[in-house]
């Protein structure tokens, strides 16, 4: 599986606001946010359609694109064409405020239309552990050019890790219990 990380636009398959259903669990909800990962996987934040047994809203959950089927698009909002991002996956970016610098490992588009990016720490233990990532709004970041070799090294490590996953980064999982 390969992903073109050198493009500033990405076409998500599921629209913001779409009603979706998990193919394995039957869980239903509305898409609030969508994310593209450097590993080649698209994920969606889904807000449950129903309230819990106490009549309270349930927390949103992240689902892999291949778990989901769209059941209704009548509430889709915003731009459901290609999303125009300012930064490429794998770019080295710096936060204007804190001066934190990291590699873009995820690009996200929420219903609010304020794009955001997750940056990996300089020396991550594992690209699979998102606790090593920090997320910033697009307008707080700029591209750093002083660590080009670092970016290339991270891109190479991620490419090698993705190519070692049988069936690619987003294979259909077994059913999950909630």
Residue percentage of the chain with pLDDT more than 70: 70
What superfamily would CATH give domain 10-72?
Answer: Hemimethylated DNA-binding domain (2.30.30.390)
Q: What is the mean pLDDT of the chain?
A: 80
* Topology given in CATH for the domain delimited by 85-163: SH3 type barrels. (2.30.30)
Rounded to two decimals, what is the model's pTM? Answer: 0.77
Residue by residue, DSSP assigns the chain as -----S-SEE--SS-TT-EEEETTT--EEEEEEEEEETTS-EEEEEEESS--TTS-PPPPEEEEGGGEEEEE-TT--S--S-EE-SS-TT-EEEETTT--EEEEEEEEEETT---EEEEE-SS-S-TT-GGGEEEEEGGGEEE--TTHHHHHHHHHHHHHHHHTSTT-TTPPPPP---
Q: Where are the domains of the chain?
A: 10-72, 85-163
Say whether 85-163 and 10-72 share the same fold: yes
> What does the pLDDT read at residue 147?
46
> Does the structure show a pLDDT above 90 at 81?
no
Of the chain, the percentage scoring pLDDT greater than 90 comes to 46
């Amino acid at each position: 599986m390969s992903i073109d990380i050198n493009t500033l636009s990405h076409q998500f398959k599921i629209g913001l606001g779409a009603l979706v259903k998990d193919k394995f669990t039957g869980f239903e909800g509305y898409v609030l946010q969508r994310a593209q990962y450097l590993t080649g996987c698209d994920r969606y934040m889904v807000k449950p359609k129903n309230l819990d047994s106490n009549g309270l809203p349930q927390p949103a959950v992240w689902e892999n694109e291949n778990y989901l089927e769209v059941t209704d698009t009548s509430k889709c909002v915003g731009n459901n064409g290609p999303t125009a991002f300012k930064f490429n996956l794998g770019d080295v970016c710096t936060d204007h405020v804190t001066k934190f610098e990291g590699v873009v490992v995820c690009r996200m588009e929420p219903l609010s239309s304020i794009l955001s990016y997750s940056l990996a720490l300089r020396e991550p233990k594992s690209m699979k552990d998102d606790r090593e990532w920090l997320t910033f709004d697009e307008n707080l970041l700029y591209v750093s050019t002083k660590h080009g070799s670092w970016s290339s090294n991270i891109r190479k490590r991620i490419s090698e890790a993705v190519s070692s996953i049988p069936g690619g980064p987003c294979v259909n999982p077994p059913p999950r219990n909630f």
